[in-house]
Each structure stands twice: as structure tokens, then as C-alpha cells.
């Protein structure tokens, strides 16, 4: 593997690590979980649609449906007229990549339901990309950004 690819991969890993760091002022809520507990948590988005428009546990909205029987899905009304909570968790013990796949699927399902499309940003205009380590790391982060986060 060439150096830029290694640095890019390191950037993605750094973003993953960032989600699990607790420093004063930085960090997120599940950091005190051990990895197994964290991996089995429900991951959820709230969709501004009625529950019957979102789907059902047996028939979750795309692309969440692609995860099939690897995940358990829960669909329930959100309090305060905030729509519907669409949640899923793995039945077995997932890998980090599988958790990333679930995060991305939940986000995409929400976008499709609320807006009818998935917002794209590439390709778009940009100038010369200097081949710097920082730039390669940032590209790694953006490649992983839909699969990471606190979701």
C-alpha cells in the first residue's frame, strides 16, 4: 500500500477514535461502555414522518432492509410530535465495519424518507489538491464520515 493510502486510512481510523475519546470538552456519551456493550446498543434516528410511513420491524425502510436478519429493528412514535424513532441493533457481535454500515443505512433511510433523495457532494469543483499528509488524512476522514459519529 502506498504512503498516501496509508495516511488516508489512518485519517479514517483517527475519526473513529475521536468518537470514543473523552477529554474535558470532547467526547461522547457511550465512551464508558466496554466495546461489546457499545456494539450492541440500539442506534437510532428520528424521522419526521408518521410510523406507518417509515415502515415496520418486519419491513424496514431501504437501505436498512439490506441488513436483513443481522439486525433487530424497532419503529415507534417519537414524543412531542417529533415523528418516528427508527432504531436498529445487531443480533450478533458486529465488526466496526458493520456498525459503520448500520450508521450509514440509518442516515440514508432518514434522508430518503424526509427529502426523497440522498444529498451528494461529489464530484464537485476543486482546485489542485496538494499531496500533503494532512490532506490525505482528511480524505480518509471524509470517506468514513457517513459511517462514523455518535450514532
Partner 1 sequence: MKAATWTGVNEVSVEDVPEPTLLNDRDVILKISQSVTCGSDLHLIGGYIPFMRAGDVMGHEFIGEVVEVGKEVRDRKVGDRVVVAPFAACGSCWYCKQELYSLCDNGNPNPGITEGLWGQSPGGCFGYSHAMGGCAGSHAEFMRVPYADVGTFVVPEGVSDTRALFASDAASTGWMGADLAGTEPGDVVAVWGAGGVGQMAARAAMLLGAEQVVVIDRVPERLAQVRDNVGAEAVDYTTTDVIAELRERTGGRGPDVCLEAVGMEAHAPGAPGIYDQVKQQLRLQTDRPTAVREAIMACRKGGTVFTLGVFAAMVDKFPLGAAMNKGLTLRGAQVHAQRYIPELLERMRRDELVTEHLATHVMPLTDAPEGYRLFKEKEDGCVRAVFLP
Closer of 65 and 151 to partner 1 (Cβ): 151
Cβ nearer to partner 1, comparing 91 with 150: 150
CA 76 vs CA 33, 56, 86: distances in Å: 25, 9, 7
CB 73 within 8 A of CB 57: yes
Q: Are 39 and 93 in contact (CB under 8 A)?
A: yes
20 touches 31 (CB < 8 A):
yes
- Residues that bind partner 1 in the complex, under the rule CB under 8 A: 15, 18-19, 24-26, 28-29, 45-46, 48, 82-83, 103, 107, 110-111, 114-130, 132, 134-135, 138-139, 141-142, 144-151
Q: How far is the CB of 124 from partner 1 (least distance, A)?
A: 5
Cβ proximity to partner 1, 35 vs 92, nearer residue: 35
Amino acid at each position: 500500500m502506498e504512503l498516501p493510502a496509508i495516511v488516508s486510512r489512518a485519517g479514517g481510523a483517527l475519526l473513529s477514535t475521536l468518537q470514543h475519546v473523552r477529554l474535558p470538552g470532547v467526547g461522547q456519551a457511550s465512551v464508558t461502555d466496554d466495546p461489546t456493550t457499545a456494539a450492541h446498543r440500539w442506534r437510532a434516528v428520528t424521522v419526521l414522518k408518521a410510523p406507518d410511513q417509515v415502515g415496520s420491524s418486519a419491513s424496514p425502510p431501504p437501505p436498512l432492509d439490506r441488513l436483513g436478519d443481522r439486525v433487530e429493528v424497532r419503529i415507534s412514535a417519537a414524543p412531542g410530535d417529533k415523528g418516528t424513532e427508527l432504531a436498529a441493533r445487531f443480533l450478533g457481535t458486529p465488526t466496526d465495519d458493520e456498525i459503520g454500515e448500520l450508521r450509514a443505512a440509518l442516515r440514508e433511510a432518514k434522508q430518503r424518507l424526509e427529502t426523497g433523495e440522498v444529498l451528494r457532494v461529489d464530484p464537485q469543483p476543486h482546485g489542485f489538491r496538494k499531496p500533503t499528509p494532512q490532506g490525505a488524512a482528511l480524505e480518509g476522514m471524509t470517506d468514513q464520515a457517513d459511517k462514523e459519529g455518535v450514532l
